[in-house]
Structure 1
Amino acid sequence: MDNRNVVVCDNGTGYVKCGFSGENFPTSVFPCVVGRPMLHYEESLTEQELKDIVVGKSCADLQHQLDVSYPLNNGIVQNWDDMCHVWDHAFYNELKINPPDCKILLTDSPLNPLKNIEKMGEMMFEKYNFAGVNFQIQAVLTLYAQGLLTGLVIESGDGVIHVVPIVDGCPYPHINKQMNIAGRHITSYLVDLLSRRGYALDRTTDFETVREIKEKLCYLSYNYKREYQLGIETTILVKNYTYEFLVKILFLKIEGQKSCYVDTSICSSMNLNSYAFQNFCFRMEGIKVGTERFQAPEVLFTPELIDVEGDGMADMVFRCIQEMDIDNRMTRV
């Protein structure tokens, strides 16, 4: 069978990775997010027409005009209608395939309920008519990619972290550990930290911007106390992040008068019902990030920072190993 007839789709909380069997890298990686316009095109005066459903990267570009939702939460599908929109985008727009001519391998979360797996299989067969469907746990596939059958996999995603022990290709579900703190929570905590520094950041519209800051500037500290003291006493850790942000321009509509453009910054005391969104412009803004660079990722090891009870990642790994049979522990080191 041609490799392009076997599709691989990794459904992550933050991103969907899809491609074809035999390829070294995914053909497409896009955010697992669905957006709907806040105003219908007929009700707005923008020259850009918005679709009723926007999926993937387009949501980030139009985030100020969309009401966004995430179909997956903690690695498990919560909204099947939105998930179908994501799959439609992946199969027809990104991969450009005819599903009945293909088979598909879908990744699965270690603690995904059986009814969700059945529902996903039902969608693949009855809605998309794939010739064959296979489910594999993500952690097992990670070991396969390294040429291994046995190991301890720490799978850190956008919404959840799993610690999965695997022996001879078989996971131990009764020992699996899950922590509902991951990349998205680091981003959210970074928003809080930067807000304390004095930056006015919105948790919804500025989330993707802060995500970029996290990915480019944040790191894990080997000695938290020493680096924190260094950050307080010096500016050696401070990095500047420059980004573009959207400024809405309003179009004044008054009969009998010449039309003019008015910036929203001077319109707070005016009757905004007399205006309609007409255009947009971009301004450059800089954000200085200091100790926040390593404070945000620390929530992975100290969940109490965001008021979450439970073990951090290091403690979770230790407990997982301790619960394994002693004969299998050394194979993981």
Structure 2
Amino acid sequence: MAERTIIIDHGSCYMKTGLSGHQEPAVLTPSIVSYLPCKENPGPSHARRRLIVGINRKHSDNFSYPVQRSRIVNWEGVELLWSFVIQKHRKGQEFEDCPVLITESPFWEPGDRKKILEIMFEFLDVPSLLLADQLEMSLYASGLLSGMVVDCGFGLTRVQPFQLGRPLRSSGKVLELGGQDITTYLRQSLFKDKSDGYSLAQMETVNKIEMSQCYVPQDLADSLDLCHSLPLSIDKGNACWLPDGTKVELTPMQHVAPELLFSPQVFDLPMPGISQAILDSVTSCEDSSRQMLMAHVIPCGGNTMYHGFTRRLFKELAASPFSSNGTTLWVNPKRHFSVWLGASLVTHLSTYKPQWTTREGYMEGTRL
């Protein structure tokens, strides 16, 4: 392939994009679009309204996520986002005709792939395209060919065992559980708001709290007992300011909101936690591969960056009967970019060359 490839890892919350060969994506773009009123249509209907990337602060109630739980729900928004990042990376004659790699969600249907080819070749005029499985890319980023990839992102948590580069599909697990649910819990508990929508100010407040004050406890009961036994003044970072200027003290449960990933039942979410999903996946594999998988657990995704996440995951997996020979977590400090990093490696592998689709091949196929 070309010396440089534009890589687009389109998650439910962010797009990670950049040129292959680098150590991390160059641009993080919120996976958000907004419809703005225009002269022809000043009302709430989307018809004939102007679509922009990101959030317009003057009309901050009109933003949405075109990808939700890894499913594309707004093709117009996705096309705009892809066009935006491709043009950004095409600046300069050197990268004018770069091929494009898009990381692929497990929920994409054949019709989705057909639509992606149409957008890329007919509207964005890319020379060639590769759709690459996201979990497979994370495996390659780890430097391993066999192991258990555990991806915990904004919309989904996915567990997929691999053996010699081959996914054991029947043993994969998908939980509709991720950072989106942590955000929803914090927003609803802070603002006492049970609706699906939220304002820009609320979103910014919750994001700040998540990044600075939330963590995964090693033992939920012990952490709550400790928090309750301390006077609030002990923790000077316990307070936060709401958009209306109100000062509130965060509760112990708000601090440990990422516990939701391990104990969703505590938050009234009827599904197994991440550790149980891994053990269920291992149980469904052949006996001969279970010890190998437990010795090669590869956490990745933005939620794995929470303080305490990897220690808690190791603690729970190490207590399982499959860990008699030891559990090992392969922890990459850039694991929130694992999918993108693996895709960057794949663009230089000759073994993937037959999987690329060229514009000429696509156009020839549409004429048949």
**What code does the residue aligned with 1:220 have?**
V
State how 1:206-245 maps to structure 2 within 5 Å.
Answer: 206-234=202-230, 235=232, 236-237=234-235, 239-240=237-238, 245=243
Higher strand share: 1
Matched with 2:353 is none
Which structure has greater helix proportion? 2
Deviations 1:16-72 (A, max 9, x none): 0000110111110011000123676998xxxxxxx932213xx1x627534011111
Which residue is 1:10 aligned to?
A: 9
**Deviation (angstroms), 1:122:** 2.5
SS for the counterpart of 2:169 is coil
CA contact (8 A) 2:51 2:77 kept: no
Matched to 1:25, the amino acid is E
Distance in structure 2 (CA, Å) of the matches to 1:300 and 1:28: 27
CA distance, structure 2, for counterparts of residue 311 and residue 88 of structure 1: 38
Give the secondary structure class of the aligned counterpart of 1:239: coil
Which residue pairs with 2:71 in the alignment? 76
**Contact 2:36–2:59 under 8 Å retained in 1:** no
Residues 1:96 and 1:288: Cα distance change in structure 2 (over 3 Å): farther
The question of 1:96 aligning with 2:91 is answered yes
- Aligned equivalents of 1:240, 1:210: Cα separation in 2: 14
1:310 to 262, 271, 275: 271
**What residue is the counterpart of 1:155 in the other structure?**
151
Matches within 5 A, 1:159-178: 159-178=155-174
Aligned residues: 282
- Greater C-alpha radius of gyration: 1
Corresponding residue for residue 53 of structure 2 = 55
Q: Is the 8 A contact 1:188 1:207 kept in 2?
A: no
**Partner Cα separation in structure 2 for residue 240 and residue 94 of structure 1:** 41
**In the alignment, does 2:286 pair up with 1:325?**
yes
The structure-2 alpha-carbon separation of the partners of 1:64 and 1:169, relative to structure 1 and needing over 3 Å to count, comes to same
Gaps of 5+ in 2: 43-48, 296-368
Going from structure 1 to structure 2, the CA distance change for 1:203 and 1:171 (only over 3 Å counts) comes to: same
* Match runs of 1:109-128 below 5 Å: 109-128=105-124
Query: Aligned equivalents of 1:239 and 1:40: distance in 2?
Result: 47
Three-state SS of the structure 1 residue aligned to 2:16 is: strand
Query: Do the aligned partners of 1:175 and 1:323 also contact (CA within 8 Å) in 2?
Result: yes
TM-score (norm 1): 0.75
CA-to-partner distance for each residue in 1:218-260, whole Å, 9 max, x for gaps? 1000111111122222134562465684x8xxxxxxxxxxxxx
TM-superposed CA distance for 1:90, in Å, is: 1.1
CA-to-aligned-CA distance 1:85-115 (integer Å, 9 cap, x gap): 1112211246537887111111112343232
